[in-house]
């Protein structure tokens, strides 16, 4: 089995990364497999504490873990899913709110993988990663929007290479607290995991470059709508950039944009805003558009996904200067 390391997994130790992927096995079991050469990185033997880089290829001997048998334990989840486009190579979906991308030790059955397995079981039979079929990139649990779901090995690697070489063009809409000072600009810094909270990322002297261009859609009375064009694909990149600019994404508890921020406003304002924010039950970040080359025809193609009802309601209120 071959696994490609995404931008969100770089700088993670090899054994930690595989523990999160091969959730049926203990870390000690995985460390033994690394030690005896059953697991390699970029066709070379590796140590368990190797820090992974974006684009690394991990090969796992299927016989050592009986991967094919493990993949049969993945359960289908019959959950509503908007399919925007589908051909023999891939599908384009609108990821729903509140769903993580793939199974973890704490959630093996209610993930996007379980949904797309239910929707595209036949098409995914040739996907190279039986533990995460259809996943070539990820969106955070509460981030909605357009995602590419490759069906077969050829499509997966052709699309993965475009992500690796930053050829995939992405556009996000973020609804944030406050009024942005600049109408447009670029945020370019270094991000690394927080030592105080490993779930968070922050600016650092050491880490990985994170670059986002942004353009103001509308400053409202209390909130703003921003379009982001990320040039890199770091974990939580847009969420961190908004927070560190002083305008966290609405509903983003992890980065200071949670509902408690309402305490900074007058009581009569709080009541109206609280009702609006709580409707979405998550943060207000949406992957609105993606463009890439078709893996078979090499033609540039573009797809868009509409935000959900609650996101659209809040966006319209900001644009109309009502909040």
Q: How far apart are CA 228 and CA 204, in angstroms?
A: 21
pLDDT band at 108 (very low <50, low <70, confident <90, very high): confident
Ranges of each domain in the chain: 2-65, 78-165, 171-285+313-319
pLDDT for position 53:
85
Q: Averaged over 302-308, what is the pLDDT?
A: 97
pLDDT for position 232:
92
User: What tens digit of pLDDT does each residue of 36-90 get?
Assistant: 888 999 999 889 999 888 778 888 886 766 555 455 578 999 999 999 999 999 9
Residues forming the active site = 140
User: What tens digit of pLDDT does each residue of 156-208 get?
Assistant: 989 988 998 899 999 999 999 999 999 999 999 999 999 899 899 999 999 99
Per-residue CA distances from 189 to 161, 204, 316, 320 (Å): 24, 8, 31, 33
User: What tens digit of pLDDT does each residue of 272-281 get?
Assistant: 888 888 888 8
Q: Which two tokens stand for residue 239?
A: 């969420």
pLDDT band at 221 (very low <50, low <70, confident <90, very high): confident
pLDDT band at 114 (very low <50, low <70, confident <90, very high): very high
pLDDT for position 269:
81
Greatest pairwise CA separation for the chain in angstroms = 65
Whether 2-65 and 171-285+313-319 share one fold: the answer is no
pLDDT for position 65:
62
pLDDT for position 29:
82
pLDDT for position 67:
53
pLDDT band at 24 (very low <50, low <70, confident <90, very high): low
- 2-65: CATH topology: 3.10.290
- 78-165: CATH topology: Pseudouridine synthase (3.30.2350)
HEC string of the chain?
Answer: CEEECCHHHCCCEHHHHHHHHCCCCCHHHHHHHHHCCCEEECCEECCCCCECCCCCEEEECHHHHCHHHHHCCCCCCCCCCEEEEECCCEEEEEECCCCCCCCCCCCCCCCHHHHHHHHHCCHHHHCCCCCCCCCCCCCCCCCEEEEEEECCHHHHHHHHHHHHCCCCEEEEEEEEECCCCCCEEEEEEEEEECCCCCCCEEECCCCEEEEEEEEEEEECCCEEEEEEEECCCCCCHHHHHHHHCCCCECCCHHHCCCHHHHHHCCHHHHHHHHHHHHCCCCCCEEEEEEEEECCCCCCEEEEECCCCHHHHHHHHHHHCCCC
pLDDT of 223 over the 80 cut: yes
pLDDT for position 71:
54
pLDDT for position 6:
75
CATH class of the domain defined by 171-285+313-319: alpha beta
Q: How far apart are CA 17 and CA 52, in angstroms?
A: 8
């Amino acid at each position: 089995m071959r696994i490609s390391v995404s931008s969100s997994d770089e700088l993670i130790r090899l054994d930690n990364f595989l523990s999160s992927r091969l959730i049926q096995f203990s870390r000690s079991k995985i460390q033994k497999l690394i030690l005896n050469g059953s697991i390699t990185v970029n066709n070379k033997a590796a140590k368990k504490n190797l820090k992974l880089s974006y684009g690394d290829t991990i090969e796992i001997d299927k016989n050592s873990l009986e991967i094919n048998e493990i993949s049969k334990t993945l359960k289908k989840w019959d959950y509503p899913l908007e399919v925007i486009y589908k051909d023999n190579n891939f599908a384009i979906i609108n990821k729903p709110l509140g769903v993580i991308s793939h199974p973890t030790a704490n959630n093996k059955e209610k993930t996007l993988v379980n949904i797309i397995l239910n929707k595209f079981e036949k098409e995914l039979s040739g996907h190279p990663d039986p533990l995460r079929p259809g996943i070539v990139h990820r969106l955070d649990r509460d981030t909605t929007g357009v995602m590419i779901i490759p069906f077969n090995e050829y499509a997966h690697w052709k699309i993965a290479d475009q992500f690796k070489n930053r050829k995939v063009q992405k556009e996000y809409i973020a609804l944030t607290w406050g009024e942005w000072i600049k109408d447009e600009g670029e945020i370019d810094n270094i991000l690394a995991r927080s030592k105080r909270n490993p779930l968070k990322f922050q600016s650092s002297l050491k880490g990985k470059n994170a670059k986002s261009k942004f353009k103001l859609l509308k400053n409202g009375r209390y909130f703003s709508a921003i379009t982001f064009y990320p040039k890199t694909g770091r974990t939580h990149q847009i969420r961190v950039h908004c927070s560190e600019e002083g305008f966290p994404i609405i509903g983003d508890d992890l980065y200071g944009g949670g509902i408690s921020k309402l305490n900074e406003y007058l009581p009569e304002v709080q009541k109206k805003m609280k009702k609006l924010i709580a409707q979405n039950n998550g943060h207000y970040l949406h992957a609105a558009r993606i463009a890439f080359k078709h893996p078979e025809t090499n033609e540039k193609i573009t797809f868009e996904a509409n935000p959900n009802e609650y996101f659209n309601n809040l966006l319209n209120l900001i644009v109309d200067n009502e909040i």
